[in-house]
Structure 1
Amino acid sequence: MTRAATPRKPQARSQARIDSILDAARTLLAEQGVASLSIYSVAERAGIPPSSVYHFFASVPALLEALTADIHAAFRASLQAPIDHDQLTTWRDLSRIVELRMLAIYNADAAARQLILAQHGLTEINQADRQHDIELGQLMLEVFDRHFQLPALPDDVDVFALAMELGDRVYARSVQLHDEITPR
């Protein structure tokens, strides 16, 4: 009987190279957008041969999926950060804290805005974002459940994942109209 292969954590040198590639891609994405990103431009920005980029990322969509996962890791961390329950009067207070944390990530990371909020039409990235929104929705449910007694939620709709998606659509519209996420 064969066992499924489990992904190994990259060695320190490999991880440093991956980080360098992702940093270069993030910078290029912020400066030029998705359409102009290529394995060769990332390699040039990172100061490494294109073959090294291909070694870790077989294609631009694979590279963008890794960046999307990295961005969503920041969103996960923001949901897992402590919240002082004593400062919450209503669920709206908690909702505002969560929203401000998400906005801080978007405002600090032009690549996040490009990947998640821009209309680039890359199916792989949109699917990865959707999956991440489902995971973030589950985390948000847990956060709200820790602080408030929640009503019965529908089984056929993931309310918190839907909230994540709707928030992104509102922010995307703001970026489309104003080139930034504007205050409400």
Structure 2
Amino acid sequence: MNQVDRRTVSRRDSASPRKPQRKNGREKYEKLLDSLEALIIEQDSSEITLANLSQVAGVPAASVYHFFPSVDASLTALAERHYKSFSEALLHLPDIPPQGGWQDLLFELCDLGRSYYEINVAALKVHFGPQSSWALRHLQMENNWRLADTLLKNLSREFELPPSQEWRERLLLAITINDAFWSQSYSRFGRITEEIAAEGKRAAAAYLKMYLGELLERRRPSTQSETSPF
């Protein structure tokens, strides 16, 4: 490993939290994340220090630095908590057929994400804030892949998708397009405005329309006579 590789690995390590294994450590870890959430709601992430986090949480500085080698690592841990929470919300989405076309499923997913950020201001700030480490960008990409998989599952359930091995990638790109509009809105207004959210959905739908067309044929509901050999 050359010197450049060592520096790259070192930066990645410092941006990643060290997760505790013991119960006492897990309790401290969660307490620190609770305190970090409260801090980031009140101030910008660039103003937070680990010493400040230690004081607010009432956790010894040595423990803070053990779990979080840097502020970036603490932000990554908080983002991981919220992405996990959002993923769990996706799992409990009701299987309600869209009233219109495939665009409805895309818009529903976008609206769900925006609603989560409206309720969880800390998640909004961490995702779109000025500090973006390698570890945090990696988590963001993983989250977008999960959204793409959810959208693909829902589309496949309701519609006959044209044969392709690239749907997952295309859906990821559509989600990334929408994400770019949200990022622009946050940079300008500190939130995802209704107007820019609508523009993001239109842009993502316009991209997918090149491959899906305006309308997709709906899947025929299975009947017992079709599935039974008798």
User: Where on the TM-score scale, by shorter chain, does this alignment land: which range?
Assistant: 0.7 to 0.9
1:171 to 182, 190, 207: 182
Kindly indicate whether residue 82 of structure 2 is the aligned counterpart of residue 71 of structure 1.
yes
- The AA in structure 2 aligned to 1:10 is Q
Kindly indicate whether residue 137 of structure 2 is the aligned counterpart of residue 130 of structure 1.
no
For the aligned residue pairs, the C-alpha RMSD in angstroms reads: 2.5
Structure 2 stretches lacking a partner, 5+ long = 1-17, 196-230
Q: Which residue of the partner structure matches residue 61 of structure 2?
A: 50
Tell me by how many angstroms 1:8 deviates.
8.9
TM-score by length of 2: 0.67
Structure 2: distance between partners of 1:119 and 1:8: 24
- The AA in structure 2 aligned to 1:113 is L
TM-score by length of 1: 0.82
Structure 2: distance between partners of 1:113 and 1:149: 35
1:181 to 192, 195, 212: 192
Task: Report how many aligned residue pairs link the two structures.
Answer: 178
Q: Which residue of the partner structure matches residue 152 of structure 1?
A: 163
Tell me by how many angstroms 1:20 deviates.
0.8
Q: Which runs of 4+ in 1 moved over 6 A?
A: none
- Quick one: structure 1 residues 179 and 137, their matched pair in 2 at CA, closer, same or farther if it must change by over 3 Å? same
Structure 2: distance between partners of 1:40 and 1:148: 53
Q: Is the 8 A contact 1:116 1:168 kept in 2?
A: no
Bigger radius of gyration among the two: 2
- The AA in structure 1 aligned to 2:162 is P
- The AA in structure 2 aligned to 1:100 is D
- The AA in structure 1 aligned to 2:124 is R
2:194 is paired with a residue whose SS is coil
Mapping 1:89-100, distance limit 5 Å: 89-100=100-111
- The AA in structure 2 aligned to 1:14 is G
Structure 2: distance between partners of 1:89 and 1:159: 21
- Quick one: structure 1 residues 153 and 77, their matched pair in 2 at CA, closer, same or farther if it must change by over 3 Å? farther
Tell me by how many angstroms 1:17 deviates.
1.4
Q: Which residue of the partner structure matches residue 21 of structure 1?
A: 32
Tell me by how many angstroms 1:137 deviates.
2.0
Kindly indicate whether residue 136 of structure 2 is the aligned counterpart of residue 109 of structure 1.
no
